[in-house]
Structure 1
């Protein structure tokens, strides 16, 4: 399948324009919180959480990245996600008072899309306090505002959010941990082949490290 960019031209009040909805290509550069994707010879710089970066670089061959295009007078930034549900949660977070792209990405990177939705639905503001820069009062306000936002989103979507399973998010966390430890993309791919996703995250990390120790 050829590399491609999916584009539309609708913009919204949050500074988000669906100029680019997704990218399909190869990761040619990675940083802690960004990747560059080669799409038919054009390199697109995409900002993403460390766990998303680790997930994408661990994949072999082409990757598909769900994109939120954020446009301001002084910037045009692509935010990348491993699936469309993560992007939807990111965009819901952006609609919350006082939440910009950096904080929204930090919340997603810390909690995961499923964690955000679960925390909001159960009223667990303490889960948001684990995010750097989010205090007790802010966490409580986020939960309150997001309850309305998620309800409105669900009412306007017959299918609702198709969230990634906890197992898939655990795999992303293990990949991110291995990347933080300095393992290469090839090593991470090999290690993750030994993890089926059903194990607790601590056990999955031990299995991955055991696989790497066999080299």
Structure 2
């Protein structure tokens, strides 16, 4: 069972695959689009935490730049109805810390931004992942939000309003995620929406 790879990055494909050569052997590793970019350039040394997935007669290597991301992926694919493809899609939209915030805030809309996840599936995953996904600080984050008198929740709710509005306007999920991530932590939803639209127009 392969748990990690350290070697030379030979190729990287935009469809989410890296070719890593280790001691003369090239390993094809499936990764998120973010990892494709952050892994470096061909010729660079790369280290990946690996989940070695076996199903019937097919073996696939899934690579991650951090141990936390691999652990998150393995927890995700342990959930009912979540296979490796959907688990990777979730991580492509939400990093482990972002997913932590989604779960702490019961943010259904954020999970629905993942291609292939509808409202019913998102509602089920919110419940199941809280018990299955061991993301450090999940309980602390939820407590902090409560202790702050809803301040943290209010900030996320404002962002959720902007996210919903942009989705209703027809913007793609990746565009929505990127622009919402850059918004201030607090503010009036209408003003935040205006800022988001301006940034989308420029970018």
TM-score normalised according to structure 2 size: 0.64
Shift of 1:61: 2.9
> Does residue 1:23 correspond to 2:5, yes or no?
yes
1-side partners of 2:82 and 2:122: how far apart?
11
> Does residue 1:102 correspond to 2:85, yes or no?
yes
User: 5 Å matches for 1:1-215?
Assistant: 19-32=1-14, 33-58=16-41, 61-150=44-133, 153=134, 160=136, 200=182
1-side partners of 2:84 and 2:4: how far apart?
18
2-side partners of 1:22 and 1:118: how far apart?
28
1-side partners of 2:47 and 2:88: how far apart?
19
2-side partners of 1:147 and 1:134: how far apart?
17
Spell out, residue by residue over 1:87-146, the C-alpha distance to the aligned partner (whole angstroms, 9 max, x if none).
011011011110000000000001122111211122112111000111111111111100
TM-score normalised according to structure 1 size: 0.61
2-side partners of 1:128 and 1:81: how far apart?
21
Question: In terms of Rg, which structure is larger?
Answer: 2
2-side partners of 1:58 and 1:137: how far apart?
40
2:12–2:42 Cα contact (<8 Å) kept = no
2-side partners of 1:89 and 1:127: how far apart?
17
Unaligned runs of 5+ in 1: 1-18, 155-159, 162-199, 207-215
1-side partners of 2:41 and 2:100: how far apart?
26
In 2 relative to 1, CA 136–44 (structure 1 residues): closer, same or farther, beyond 3 Å? same
1-side partners of 2:20 and 2:5: how far apart?
8
Unaligned runs of 5+ in 2: 138-181, 184-198
Spell out, residue by residue over 1:155-180, the C-alpha distance to the aligned partner (whole angstroms, 9 max, x if none).
xxxxx47xxxxxxxxxxxxxxxxxxx
2:9–2:43 Cα contact (<8 Å) kept = no
2-side partners of 1:26 and 1:149: how far apart?
34
Aligned-residue CA RMSD (Å): 2.2
